Structure 1
Amino acid sequence: MRSLIRFFQRLCAAVVRVCRLVPMLPVVVVTAIPLAVLGQWRPWDAAVAGQSSLSAQPAQHGAASASSIAIPVLGDPGVGQWLVIALVLIIVTDTIRGMIDDIRNGQVGVDLLAVMAMLSTVAVHEYWASWAVTLMITSGEAIEEYAQSKAEHSLTALVKAAPQTAHVVTLPGVGRGKIQTDSANDGFRHTSSARFAAAQRFATVPVAQVQPGDVLMVLPGEIVPVDGELLSGEATLDLSAINGEPVPRTVFAGARVMSGAVNGSAALTMRATQPAAESQYQRILQLVESAQESRPAVVKTADRLAVPFTVLALVIAGVAWAVSGIPTRFAQVLVLATPCPLLIAAPVAYIAGTSRLAAAGVLIKTQDVLENLGRVTQVFFDKTGTLTVKQPQVVRVEMLPGVETQLNEDHVLMMAGVVEGYSVHILSKGIAKAGAEAMARLRARFAAGQRDCPEPEAGMPGHGRDYPVVKNIEETAGKGVSGTVNGHAVRVGRLSFAAAQEDGFLPAAAGGVADSRRAADADSPGLAGKARNSADLRTRFGMLQPDEMASYMSVDGQLIARIVLRDVPRANAKAALAALHGLGVSKLAMLTGDKRASAEIIAREVGIDEVHAELFPEDKVAAVSAATRDGSGDRPDGRALSVPRTGVPAGKDFMAKPVTMMVGDGVNDAPVLVAADLGVAITDGTSTAASESAQVVIMNDDIAAVPRAIAIARRTKHIMLQAVVAGLVLAVIGMIAAAFNLIPVVVGAFLQEAIDVVSILWALTAVLDRR
């Protein structure tokens, strides 16, 4: 019973929404009742007949002439039929007004067929057909509104989530914005009321009034209104509305907080660094609005095709009338002439595709980008941060052979990680991340209060701590970082920095080969001795691969281990590139400034066809510009490529005009992103430069979104073509059948409505996720 009640509640709510969208629809539906009941009723006939009975012979003639109120073309309609005529006139007037507005806005007004269909059915006294056409027009508007709202669901969800207000701290001396200045000028007056006092400390204002320097309070569950800097100790932020990241991110004082993020369970304090109009979420909304307002070339073409379709319909209707000599044939053809598959189905499909991309974390600047996405034939990738993760990652820890220690690899990573966490070097983040993971493994292995990290020297019992105590952090530019961890001096960085003592030489405890040469080195110049000892230690560790780099760690002057890092491909990079090949993309190339040896290793791991290494930014622009200009994908040195296209069925090259795509991070790749036919920026939603330089912005930092976007674009175009072609073919077949009197006027009107509904709903399937 409850489910039945809920069903009727949802049904009533849907009816109310439809009535609000198209107010004329319920009027048209209700008009069917008097048309059925009072359609032929003419009360004026009875009045005229009563007057005629009082007259003699001449009265018969008078009654004959007055018993019907005949109007040219309309004849003598009944009460219900007059209501339909009035309804037709109202809708025709409104439709003509809309056509005039369309022409003023530079669009072709092709509702002429609907106007002529309504007027022609009234002229031939087919009132039920007239009513059906009016129902078709009003219900078509409702269906269009429904389809548009469904197609734009993901886009409007972004807009609705936009922050509207902000809580500005108004205490004098806090912040540097206008609101705080005004508060300081007013002082602490009128403090007798607690409520008034609170109002003097916090002011809730429209987000547009927030200025850089204002200090804001964001309550639990509220949306961060503008970009800023976190002032409170830490905060947990939900970034799913920005980049689709499902797990909340914890940030600490000094971190950047972005507008659109949802605050966690504790209030946070932040300082605004950007006004609302220049904040990250507003940039995302600008992309959404530009995509919604744009009209792709294929939709513009569909609009232009609606004009010859209108002419064709009028020709078929006119020929049918002329040949048969029956005016009803004209109306029979026109009620089946529907340009809706062109005018509505095409844009609905593209808006649905744009919304589907947004749901997948991909934002586009215009709907023309959606068209170009479906024709990509070659893709250039940046290496670092695009094919690989953004920072080098730890791949292994090598303990120095011959050195006795109680530390294992996890201990080394933990101690190095807590020191490197204070460094700004490019390798520090990778080591700090690996250190945090090692600390978690150690914590899981030992119970609270037990030794997570033993003393470094072999045989020492040590006391250990639950968490390492870090002091005296100092970073030496270009060399490394040092500090005290649990009372032990730890140095991480270059070999010469990690292993050096105050005299500049390696410690005697290095042992092995270093010991055997210690005496010889004592008589050598300092630099030469250090170089030989460094070479000896590197030999003991072994050779690094071309794409590897290393940091060395010593504890209390004793070199302990080497931490090896490298650029690691994204986990799904190989699968994403294979998917691109499967979609028929002919060439996948890498453009990088790195050395060729390391670039080729990454290329082999992920499946790149071609590598261009050691390039300057202008070299990257030249390579992409050459491929964009001629579509041949020539190499920068002028030699032509010969890469077979894979994945495209024979005889079905549906990408007539080749499109070159460049995929980068949107910041240092900005020039080359602009040079390509299609620039794609892979970001985590925090880069504002991406929306400036790229036409496509991937907000979830997922390289798999590249083939997914191409697949969505192609599926959208296929669905659009299917909806348009199927609707037009059915309409033409129906018009020809009506010309031969095979389809009655009323049936034709309802059949046209069915064609419209099918084509529009089929176009709407582009919003569905069918991977």
Structure 2
Amino acid sequence: MPVLRALRRYRVILLALVVLAVVLLLHAAGMPAAGRWTATVFVALFVVWTLIGMVRDVLRGHIGLDVLAVVAMVATLAVGEYIAALIIVLMLAGGEALEDIAGRRAKRELTALLDRTPRVAHVIVHPRSSDGDEIQDADVDDVVVGDVLLVRPSEIVPVDGTLLSETGTFDESSITGESLPVTRRAGEEVLSGATNGEGAVRIRVLRRGADSQYQQIVALVRGASESRAPVVRLADRFAVPFTAVSLVLAGTAWAISGEPSRFAEVLVLATPCPLLIAAPVAFLAGLSRAAKAGVIMKGGAVIEQLARVRSACFDKTGTLTQGRPELIDVRAADGFGELDLLRLAASAEQYSSHVLADGIRRAAHERGIPLSSAERAREIATNGVTAVIEGREVVVGKPAYVAGLTPDMQPATLEPGQAAAYVAIDGRFAGALILADAARPESAQVIAWLRENGVERITMLTGDALATAASIAATVGIDDVHADLLPAEKVHLAAQLRPRPTMMVGDGVNDAPVLAAADIGVAMGARGATAAGDAADVVILVDSLAKVADAVAIGRHTVQVALTAIWIGIGLSIGLMVIAMTGVIPAVGGALIQELVDLATILYALRALRGPAPGEERASADTRRPQPTASAA
């Protein structure tokens, strides 16, 4: 059962519950002294264990601020309130358990990224021979510069290499962020981590596995994750001054009254539960609320950072844009109709696996155009598809391929980031289909909302060409653009960005290093970008950029609730301590009253489950508003 597994993991909570039950049974059996000694020994051991942990924290350079809890436990034992001491142990252990759960989620292994790492390379032993080439599989780490490798269709390129085949089509989106497949020719460099297209290709190893692009990305993610500075817990900022005030008030009461018991009576009302529990409860409520909205935040520290974010960086492809090419124009040649051209082209593209083919088929479906089956069809890898549809020969492909079949082909004029699929029908040039990766309809509103809500600087960091990046940036309202970037360059620019904290929003493997290095990494994980999701602090499960605004809004509301709950607890405790200085509140009564203070702060902290989220309200209205179509991929 989950409850039993949790109790086994957090043994202190289980032990405290067992001791509390034993003490109550001893009381019921008429043996209060035995119950008192049982509770005292357990709490004393817990205090010693806590002090040892505080010393270890100090030796590691972090000041242990659980001294308030130690003082409270010692004070309750001193006045004989060992039941209250046990409750403090339970609350302290419970708060640590909540933090541990959040930490375990934040420290997930980058399993998706590592699983995708190529481990085997197909080495061609005699590359100059004909069909009888001998191929041996070798570990990627054993491949040396100069080896010739075979990369089969849809396989991931294991190491950086020089293309030996005449041409090859590769999906480099995981490396550069470019959504459209890239065609490489003989002699050009092919990056590791790219996915090969439909045809097998040969490459000559240019760099060893450890020095190749994909392995560098993995190393960057690991290094950035390990080097990120920890965030101080919200409660820690109040613990020391609250402890000092409590000790001063208790000491003053002792000095004025001359009674040592007055010191304990005041400190009983200074239990750390409002500090130790209010913030974790509020953060857990905020995490739950975010999860219901399709946003996974990995711990309370992430909520704190989101509440203070002052700079934001955005990837382009799949983040500010849709991440898939859309048909934006049908340019039919003389003698052909646009609908007929799209219908025949989409019918032929049923037999192609190219990313542009998916956009053409989707466009026909959205327009309600019925597709026809082919009498015969074949795809020419990296070039196009030929099919016989309704007795007519339809060719859809690249300009060079179509031009070789139809000398009258006319190249289309394209804007930055656009791509064209050319069509020939029965040997005549029929026209071109223009596709582009458009900006998300909500992107401009999200950028505007962030600016209106305290994010002072917004930047685009992308591996795409500058012209394409600038086109999308102008559409969504970003004027600070950095293009043609590799993952390491994104990390460097994000680290230099001011003011801080900095939020980075991206998707794909190429964004994983900068997501891990940023103060807050936000991954658009709705379409399975698991590597980016593991490296990020926040994962958006809904395919909408509006959830970035929701995450910031929820973070700010949660921290506001947590701070208010803490101040309620501190204010009530100090007020009650001042009253207790007069001696009108006995120790037992003080312990009971303090539990009511704890209850008040916890109930208020649960308000983080509710409340306005400006991002949600803005997104629901703005995403229905038509947006200008971007002509960039």
TM-score band by shorter chain is 0.5 to 0.7
How big is the shift at 1:598?
A: 3.8
Aligned to 2:47: 99
**Aligned residue in 2 for 1:428:** 357
* Cα pair distance change 1:694/1:500, threshold 3 Å: same
Matched to 1:99, the amino acid is: V
Tell me how far apart the structure 1 counterparts of residues 579 and 347 of structure 2 sit (CA, whole Å): 81
Task: Give 1:724's aligned residue.
Answer: 566
Give unmatched runs, 5+ long, in structure 2. 1-12, 55-63, 108-221, 614-633
Question: Given residue 373 of structure 2, which amino acid in structure 1 is its aligned partner?
Answer: P
Among 458, 477, 499, which residue is 1:607 paired with? 477
Question: 1:505 corresponds to which residue?
Answer: 407
Is the 8 Å Cα contact of residues 91 and 273 (structure 2) preserved in structure 1? no
State whether structure 2 residue 593 is matched by structure 1 residue 751. yes
Task: Give the aligned residue type for 2:574.
Answer: V
1:416 to 338, 345, 354: 345
The question of 1:332 aligning with 2:265 is answered yes
The one-letter code sitting in structure 2 at the alignment partner of 1:101 is W
Between stretches 580-589 and 757-766, larger displacement belongs to: 757-766
Question: Matched residue of 1:588: which SS?
Answer: strand
Alignment of 1:534 with 2:468, yes or no, is no
Query: 2:607 aligned with 1:702, yes or no?
Result: no
CA distance in 1, matches of 2:96, 2:70: 23
- Picking from 329, 354, 377, the partner of 1:472 is 377
What CA distance in whole angstroms lies between the structure 2 residues aligned with 1:481 and 1:312? 78
Deviations 1:399-434 (A, max 9, x none): 33444x6xx52x543432343344344422212322
Name the Cα RMSD after superposition: 4.4
In the other structure, the counterpart of 1:739 is 581
Q: 1:397 aligns with which of 315, 330, 339?
A: 330
SS at match of 1:298: coil
> In structure 2, the residue corresponding to 1:578 is in which secondary structure?
helix
Structure 2: which amino acid aligns with 1:480? G
Give the structure 2 partner of residue 667 of structure 1.
509
Measure how far apart 1:371 and its partner are. 3.0
Structure 1 residues 679 and 314 mapped into 2: Cα distance closer, same or farther (>3 Å)? closer
Q: Would the alpha carbon gap of residues 295 and 399 (structure 1) be closer, same or farther in structure 2, given more than 3 Å must change?
A: closer
Residues 151 and 352, structure 1, Cα contact 8 Å, conserved in 2: no
Alpha-carbon separation, structure 2, partners of 1:387 and 1:609: 14
Distance change in 2, residues 1:721/1:296 (3 Å): farther
2:443 pairs, out of 560, 573, 580, with 573
CA distance in 2, matches of 1:726, 1:295: 30
Out of 389, 405, 410, the position equivalent to 1:485 is 389
Aligned residues of 1:113 and 1:337 also touching (Cα < 8 A): no
CA deviations 1:12-52 (Å, max 9, x no partner) are: xxxxxx99983455667788889xxxxxxxxxxxxxxxxxx
Q: Where do residues 110-121 of structure 1 align in structure 2 (5 Å cutoff)?
A: 110-121=68-79
CA–CA distance in structure 2, aligned partners of residues 616 and 752 of structure 1: 56
Matches within 5 A, 1:335-414: 335-363=268-296, 367-403=300-336, 409=339, 411-414=340-343
Deviation (angstroms), 1:674: 5.0
Shift of 1:754: 0.8
Is the contact made by 1:480 and 1:491 (CA closer than 8 Å) also made in structure 2?
A: yes
Corresponding residue of 1:635: none
Q: 1:556 aligns with which of 405, 411, 426?
A: 426
Deviation at 1:693, TM superposition (A): 4.5
Are the aligned partners of 2:102 and 2:298 in contact in 1 as well (CA < 8 Å)? no
User: What's 1:59 paired with?
Assistant: none
Mark the CA change 1:97 to 1:116 in structure 2 (over 3 Å): closer, same or farther: closer
Q: Could you tell me how far apart the structure 2 residues matched to 1:595 and 1:111 are? A: 56
> 1:157, CA displacement in angstroms?
12
Q: Is the contact made by 2:269 and 2:591 (CA closer than 8 Å) also made in structure 1?
A: yes
Residue-by-residue CA offset, 1:359-408 (whole Å, 9 max, x unaligned)? 444445665444332222221222222111112211232333444x6xx5
Which amino acid counterpart does residue 311 of structure 2 have in structure 1?
Q
**Deviations for 1:444-499, whole angstroms, at most 9, x for unmatched residues?**
xxxxxxxx56xxxxxxxxxxxxx52452222253x422122243211112355446
Q: How does 1:643-662 map to 2 (within 5 A)?
A: 658-662=500-504
Separation in 2, partners of 1:365, 1:558: 58
| Secondary structure, counterpart of 1:323 in structure 2 | helix
Per the TM alignment, residue 357 of structure 1 is displaced from its structure 2 partner at its CA by: 4.2
Once the two structures are overlaid, the 10-residue window that deviates more, 360-369 or 567-576, is 360-369
CA drift of 1:324 comes to 2.2
Between 1 and 2, higher relative CO (CA 8 Å, sep ≥ 6) is seen in 2
Checking the alignment, whether the CA contact within 8 Å between 2:99 and 2:299 is kept in structure 1 is: no
Amino acid at match of 1:471: R
Amino acid at match of 2:252: V
1:713 aligns with 2:542: no
Specify the SS of the correspondent of 1:372. helix
Corresponding residue for 1:437?
Answer: 366
Query: 2:204 matched to which residue of 1?
Result: none
Q: Structure 2 vs 1, CA of residues 28 and 396 (structure 1 numbering), >3 Å: closer, same or farther?
A: farther
Question: Mapping of 1:4-403 within 5 angstroms?
Answer: 22-23=17-18, 83-106=31-54, 108=66, 110-122=68-80, 130=81, 134=83, 136-137=84-85, 297-299=231-233, 302-303=235-236, 306=239, 309-310=242-243, 312-326=245-259, 328-363=261-296, 367-403=300-336
Partner amino acid, structure 2, of 1:468 = S
- Compute the displacement of 1:699 (Å): 3.8
Q: Is the 8 A contact 2:314 2:320 kept in 1?
A: yes
Shift of 1:733: 1.3
User: Of 452, 456, 460, which residue of structure 2 is paired with 1:590?
Assistant: 460
Do the aligned partners of 2:398 and 2:421 also contact (CA within 8 Å) in 1?
Answer: yes
CA distance in 2: counterparts of 1:27 and 1:754, whole angstroms:
24
Q: Which amino acid aligns with 2:394?
A: V
- Are the aligned partners of 1:362 and 1:698 in contact in 2 as well (CA < 8 Å)? yes
SS in 2 for 1:389: coil
Deviation at 1:734, TM superposition (A): 0.7
> Aligned AA for 2:345?
A
Count, aligned residues = 481
- Determine if contact 1:296/1:367 at 8 Å carries over to the other structure: no
- The separation in 2 between residues aligned to 1:140 and 1:366, in whole angstroms, is 23
CA contact (8 A) 1:313 1:334 kept: yes
Where does the alignment leave 5 or more consecutive residues of structure 1 unmatched? 1-17, 35-79, 123-129, 160-286, 443-451, 454-466, 507-532, 633-657
Counterpart CA distance in 2 for 1:414 and 1:703 is 33
Change over 3 Å in CA distance of 1:119–1:382 after alignment to 2: closer
Structure 2 counterpart SS, 1:669: helix
Distance verdict in 2 for CA 1:613–1:744, change over 3 Å = same
Secondary structure at the aligned position of 1:347 is classed as: helix
Tell me the distance in 1 between the aligned counterparts of 2:72 and 2:47.
11
Cα distance change, pair 694–421 in 1 and its aligned pair in 2 (3 A)? farther
* SS of equivalent to 2:232: helix
Residues 137/400 of structure 1: CA separation in 2 closer, same or farther (3 Å cut): farther
Alpha-carbon distance, 1:568 to partner? 0.8
Relative distance call for 1:576 and 1:151 in structure 2 (3 A) is farther
Q: Is residue 23–residue 36 contact of structure 2 (8 Å, CA) maintained in 1?
A: no
TM (normalized to structure 1)? 0.54
SS in 1 for 2:438: coil
SS at match of 2:420: strand
Counterpart residue identity of residue 481, structure 2 = V
